[in-house]
Amino acid sequence: MSGEHDDALISRQVRLLESLLEEKGLVGGETVDEVVDGFLANASPVNGARAVARAWTDPAYKERLLADGAAAVGELGFAAGGVQKQRLRVAENTQTVHNVVVCTLCSCYPLRLLGPSPGWYKSEAYRSRVVRDPRGVLAEFGVTLPDEVRVTVWDSSAETRYMVLPRRPEGTDGLSEAELARLVTRNGLIGTAVL
């Protein structure tokens, strides 16, 4: 199935569900819109970047983030999941390991921490190729890693979402947490960029 076909199917299913809920008098269309708007209102890669910057500046927070991502981002006021509670695992990039995230089945993604997912993340091409040829896919994003760096691909699911903790850039010791957060991109949080 193509990504467009998947999106069209999901859209039809959502419209059908909304119609049934309205028809049964359980929910009005305005209520559905309010819930969706509220859910997306605070969804931004700025949230994930704040968690990364805190981890770079606070070793105890970093330990908590790596041990239980959902609880750690909760400390900053962000829910890792949405309607359904999800586990958040944070994969740390090191000198010898680079992590990248995918959802091979659909497009599971920590929306509140990374904002709406980019189109390429949902594409069948990315979802299948990054598992088979992660270095090739990363090269297409401009990320070329030394041979000694192992690439680990993490497959998100409905129960477990992943976020990458990029390596802190050298020469940033004097930067504030807010300045550090501005260095982190959504692609860095997915692993298709180093920051």
- Active site positions, annotated: 103, 106-108
Q: How many CA atoms lie within 13 A of 171 on its CB side?
A: 1
Structural Rg of the chain based on CA atoms = 18
Tokens linked to 117:
């997912």
Asked if 189 contacts 183 with a C-beta cutoff of 8 angstroms, the reply is: no
Distance, in Å, from the CA atom of 127 to the CA atom of 6, rounded to the nearest integer, reads 13
Nearest residue to 158 via CA among 91, 102, 86, 80 = 86
E-strand spans in the chain? 87-92, 97-102, 150-155, 160-165
